[in-house]
Amino acid sequence: MARLRSVGVATLEKANPSHFLWSRRHFLSGTGGATLALASASAWAQATTKLPLPGGPDERSITTAFPQKGALILQRTRPPLLETPFEVFDQSVFTPNDRFFVRWHWALIPTEVKFDTFRLAVRGHVTRNLSLTLNDILALPQVELAAVNQCSGNSRGYFQPRVPGGQWSNGSMGNARWTGVRLKDVLDRAGVKPGAVQVRFNGMDEAIVPDAPDFMKSLAIDHARDGEVMLAYAMNGEQLPLLNGFPVRLVVPGWYSTYWVKMLNDIEVLDQPDTNFWTKTAYTIPDTPNANVRPGETGVPMVPINRMVPRSFITNIKAGDTLPVGVPTLARGIAFGGDAGVSRVDFSNDGGKNWQHAELGKDEGKYSFRQWQIRFVLPDTAGRVLMVRCTSTKGETQPDTPNWNPSGFMRNVIEQTQVVVA
Amino acid sequence: MTRTLLPIALIAGFAFAPFCVHAEDKLILKSVSVELPNSDRMFPDGPGSQAANGNCLACHSAGMVLNQPAMSKAQWDAEVNKMRTAYKAPIDSKDVAPIVDYLVSIRGTN
């Protein structure tokens, strides 16, 4: 059983003790909880885990070697790529800070950040350049928002044919309550000049090779000033772990985490479209429905990846688990609408022939994970495929067939969990 | 934080905007100093492993490569060239072919 050390998680349970019968007590006393605790104990003992990626390699170390971090799946040591073990998502709607996934592009990450000397520059096409201290930022109106932060390449390891890149299972995502200030308020203090088209964000990380492209991302000026994009200095009620972007990171609700620039220390308002590698060339998707192309297809127009799409997962039953015949069984999990709220979660225990509405948990805001649960009875001992499907408040739903693109981005196919019945 | 989150949860029920604004109880941020672990993992021995160790590990640890799926020679060639052209890895041109051949030998499709 993982330590629930994070203030945010503990507070959530206090504030909302009986909602949805999904308190920690329920988790510990239920059958699903017992199975999970056992599974996670054995994973700890071995210090390795297997990700069921088609064709492998499937073995990964479980690491506790990273500062301010608990047990995570080691995808790469340097620059760090650390994945959240999937059982964490069964424990709370918010992902504890010490289990939150980590992804850096370049290896020179400052290991020391001082409160007094940190500065955030705001410059470019503005009336006055700013150099903000952390106290300046803390003095702005404070806002809070629950939002899913998901890597563009989450679940890349399930693409077939396989594609190069971080070979993630489904754990390069997390949900947190972000606290900080509106980007709009910061830009207003600098005074955006007429003719601004984009805002570019740069963090303190650097490449080993000096002429390698600095990691920067840009948003359209109207998006940057929409009042939702924020600079977060806390997640789940605590300052950000360094590897999640201390002291300040961008939060772009509903968009993939490539835009959520960590250790943000430079904001530049542009009067021309950004042509830097990471905005214009990297992180692009086919401009097709579901960013889908045929393997080998060429000549497809590409656009920068942008908003997220709906996804849903069962968190208390794993592929290969044995479920009892003839008695009520609980399935539960998480769903998110992408750039919209969750309108509906449907569940099938017969491979998608019949679907039932699942009960939805508390609405923590449209950009948050939403918990769901359903009880069902399996009438016979035939093997079963469990499926779960999220429909967003925009009416967008998950596709029956997986998308494919050469970068392994935006997977959101309906998940399938094969179980044994006895 | 317990004090702040309770009223926020209540406000959230009424607001249309996803944001909740609350002025009180600013967080106190503290300076951070950490050490990041390194990796001493090398590429498994084989023809070309020296070239791989000498060129690849400056920018990233070996695990990134060893976790990759099996790929064709053309795909590995594209990867090595992406490291050189997009990410400016200073790989000597004479090392490119040995590195690609080595990668095919450990993670090739045929």
pLDDT at A395: 98
**Is B10 an 8 Å CB contact of chain A?**
no
Residue B13 pLDDT greater than 90, yes or no: no
Q: How many CB pairs under 8 A join A and B?
A: 163
The answer to whether the CB of A72 falls within 8 A of the CB of A40 is no
Cα–Cα dist A137/A121, whole Å:
11
A284 chain-B contacts, CB cut-off 8 A: none
pLDDT tens for each residue of A46-90: 599 999 999 999 999 999 999 999 999 999 999 999 999 999 999
Q: Does B75 touch chain A (CB under 8 A)?
A: yes
The Cα A80–Cα A82 span in angstroms is: 6
Asked if A67 lies within 8 A of B36 by C-beta distance, the reply is yes
Residue B90 pLDDT > 80:
yes
Domains defined for chain B, CATH in brackets: 49-107 (1.10.760.10)
Average pLDDT over residues B13-22: 50
B5 neighbourhood in chain A, CB within 8 Å: 8, 11-12, 15, 177, 237
The residue among B30, B36, B83 with the most chain A CBs within 10 A of its CB, best to mutate, is B36
Q: How far apart are CA A400 and CA A420, in angstroms?
A: 22
- List A121's β-bridge partners, or say none: A131, A266
Structure confidence by residue, pLDDT tens digits, A251-274: 999 999 999 999 999 999 999 999
Q: Tens digit of pLDDT per residue, chain A (422 long)?
A: 233 223 233 233 333 333 454 443 333 333 333 334 344 444 444 599 999 999 999 999 999 999 999 999 999 999 999 999 999 999 999 999 999 999 999 999 999 999 999 999 999 999 999 999 999 999 999 999 999 999 999 999 999 999 999 999 999 999 999 999 999 999 999 999 999 999 999 999 999 999 999 999 999 999 999 999 999 999 999 999 999 999 999 999 999 999 999 999 999 999 999 999 999 999 999 999 999 999 999 999 999 999 999 999 999 999 999 999 999 999 999 999 999 999 999 999 999 999 999 999 999 999 999 999 999 999 999 999 999 999 999 999 999 999 999 999 999 999 999 999 99
- The CATH architecture assigned to A311-421 reads Sandwich (2.60)
ipTM reported for the complex, 2 dp:
0.87
Residue type, A200: R
Contact list in A for residue B26 (CB cut-off 8 A) is 138, 142
CA distance B27 to chain A (A): 8
What class does CATH assign to A120-304? alpha beta
* Residues 6 or more apart in contact with residue A102 via CB below 8 angstroms: A66, A69, A72, A80, A81, A82, A243, A244
Cβ partners under 8 Å of residue A41, min gap 6 = none
> Domain locations in chain A?
7-103, 120-304, 311-421
What is the distance between the alpha carbons of residues A96 and A286, in angstroms, rounded to a whole number? Answer: 34
Query: pLDDT tens digits for B21-36?
Result: 554 566 899 999 999 9
> Residue B3 pLDDT > 50, yes or no?
no
Chain A residues closer than 8 Å to B69 by CB: 53, 55-57, 157, 162-164, 167
- B-chain CB neighbours of A77 within 8 Å are 37-39, 41, 61, 63
Q: Whole-prediction pTM value?
A: 0.89
Measure CB to CB from residue B87 to each of A67, A164, A212 and give the nearest one: A212
Locate the chain A residue with the closest alpha carbon to B77.
A164
A301 and A321 Cβ atoms separated by less than 8 Å: no
Least confident stretch, A57-66, B2-11, B64-73, B100-109: B2-11
Cis peptide upstream of residue A295 (ω within 30 degrees of 0): no
Nearest-CA distance A314 → chain B (Å) = 26
State whether A246 and B32 contact (CB < 8 Å): yes
pLDDT at B62: 97
A105 near A205, Cβ under 8 Å? yes
